[in-house]
Chain A
Amino acid sequence: MPEIKELVKSLADKYGRTRESLIPILQGVVQDQRYISDEAMTEIARELDIAAAQVYGTATFYSFLDTTPRGKYVIRVCRTITCSMKGKNQIVQEIEDLLKIKVGETTQNRKFSLLETNCLGWCHKGPAMLINDEVYTELTPEKVREIISEYIKK
């Protein structure tokens, strides 16, 4: 895949080709592709001159470095205690109904993935979720419907 090759090369030009460049490059691939494919990992290994197993080992450690295909918009709903107490389940249910997917799944058009994640650091304004890097807090089912329909239009 020449596209991946070019992406990895441009990221390596930007972040360097040392071991310390690895995570910034992986993050760059996720920003662009929403996940890190086997091809991308092999290409990064070649570019940084390290074993592919090293790239795989680092990539699979971090929950934000997805190694399975994800949608264009990755929704991460906080499941930690305060958000859970403030109605996280209703929020997840609402999104599942809207997008017709379960937690862990991606819509067929590859537009949305729905995940649960650990504490996002918005406990005083729970329930909270991230859509890619954007934060949404004090969610209600109504609010979630509005937010998601905005993204559906995008």
Chain B
Amino acid sequence: MSNTKLKRVDLIFEQDCNTKEVLQSAWAKSKDEIINELLESGLKGRGGAGFPTALKWKFTSEQPETERYIICNADEGEPGTFKDREILFQVPCKVFGGMAVCAKVIGATEGFIYLRGEYRFLLPQLEKKLDDFHKILEELKVPFRIRIIMGSGAYICGEESALFESMEGQRGEPRNKPPYPTIAGFRSKPTVINNVETLVYAFMISKHGARKFKELGTADSRGSKVFSISGDTPIPGIYELELGMTVEQFVEEFGDGDTKAVQVGGASGFCVPRKKFKDTIIGFEGVPTGGSMMIFNSSRSMYNVLKNYIEFFEEESCGQCTPCRVGCQQLLKGIEAVKKGEKHAAYLDQLLKLTESMKITAKCGLGQSVANSFSSIVENFREEMIY
């Protein structure tokens, strides 16, 4: 791993919280100073959607309603993603710190971490660390407290409005947007909801200033990012890398020499086949990702990969809107029928049209993004779907 060409970064996992000092200096600044620093850094949300973090904080802080919340989205459920678990395990203080800086900006007194049920084993340690953090806040006389809310095994609750519903004791069914969370989020109050990793970067930018972060990455994808790397690789794991690399560079370092495709962004992301490795940049200018990188070598059936994804969506669809509920069922039935020869290969084109409809008509990101993996796998590996 020492002769690597990709630049390793150590902003996230370095054990350098210094929570007290960072918060003291944040509280000495004005709200606008913190927002401008964040804006200057170019930080975009690390959960996958990539909304500029500074604007989220700014919009929320400008709402007339003064009861506002900061929520950390730790409902990490995208297949192939496991970085947030490691961040919460290794440097929870930075996550809490990022939430506190946000609380200062938006004037929140309450924050919440929505932790997926699968990570309940983290809870005792997290609560202990949270107690320590609250002691620091007490010393600083900062009126802000964080509570941990547990999820119960529903992928859709990673969708922000479904997450609010779940926190309010309801079924995790996404809401219509607008209004966006910055206007009406948890308890219909202005809410900032950020991914775990985003909050750590916000904390680090508050600590070091924008420059150190801005020096990394490209114009569209500033900074570094934590990648969760799995599949056919000799070195699976969690890596913080500078943004802007191509899939080819990535595969050279992490592949096993026989890489056929890389799924970037999980089941809801895009499949990049070998012939496109060279021209595809990992980032907002190419294929965006919340960090999930799944590598497949030539021994793998891309039909099995796609089927596994569609089974996942079919089960995790909340069932609220028809395009997603029925669409996922029909996609699954459809690819099975084509594989068995019960339907002609041209039926795949009809299924592609169906995903296009889902993209337009589904209520939330889940149903809308099924098209990403479906079309990128079917179009690039059509023969594997049929024979």
- The verdict on A126 contacting B150 (CB below 8 Å), with A82-B80, A118-B316, A119-B77 known, is no
Find A80's partner among B79, B171, B229, B318 (CB 8 Å cutoff). Answer: B79
Q: B33 near A: Cβ within 8 Å?
A: no
Question: How many of chain B's residues have a CB under 8 angstroms from any CB in A?
Answer: 48
B153 near A62 with CB under 8 A, answer: yes
Q: Tell me the minimal C-beta distance from A46 to chain B in angstroms.
A: 16
CA distance A81 to B78 in the complex (A): 11
Chain B contact residues: helix, strand, loop or mixed: mixed
Q: Are A119 and B80 touching (Cβ within 8 A)?
A: yes
Q: Which residues of B contact A22 (CB under 8 A)?
A: 169
Of all chain B residues, which has the CB nearest A64?
B153
A123 to B312, CA, bound (A): 15
In the complex, chain B residues 279-326 whose Cβ is within 8 Å of any chain A Cβ = 294, 300, 304-305, 308-309, 312, 315-316, 318
Q: Are B236 and A124 in contact (CB under 8 A)?
A: yes
- Interface bin, chain A: 35 or more
**Least CB distance, A147 to chain B, in whole angstroms:** 15
Contact of A23 among B169, B232, B238 (CB under 8 A): B169
Indicate if the CB atoms of B82 and A20 lie closer than 8 Å.
no
Please tell me which one of the listed residues B76, B77, B81, B232 contacts residue A118 in the complex, with CB atoms under 8 A apart.
Answer: B77
- What A residues does B300 contact at CB under 8 A? 85
Question: With A20-B167, A20-B169 known to touch, is A120 a contact of B118 (CB < 8 Å)?
Answer: yes
B154 — which chain A residues lie within 8 A by C-beta? 61-63
CA distance A126 to B119 in the complex (A): 16
- Among B79, B81, B228, B312, find the residue whose CB has the most chain A CB atoms closer than 10 A: B79
- Is A57 in the interface zone, CB < 8 Å from B? yes
B81 touches A80 (CB 8 A): no
A90 at the interface (CB under 8 A from B): no
| B239 vs chain A, min Cβ distance (A) | 10
- B80 and A123 contact, CB distance less than 8 A: yes
**Closest B residue to A57 using CB positions:** B171
Interface string of A3-17 (1 = CB under 8 A from B): 000000000000000
| Residues of chain B whose beta carbon lies under 8 Å from any beta carbon of chain A | 76-82, 85, 116-121, 149-155, 166-173, 228-232, 236-238, 267, 294, 300, 304-305, 308-309, 312, 315-316, 318
Q: Which 7 A-B pairs have the closest CB atoms?
A: A64-B153, A124-B236, A123-B230, A62-B152, A22-B169, A63-B153, A61-B171
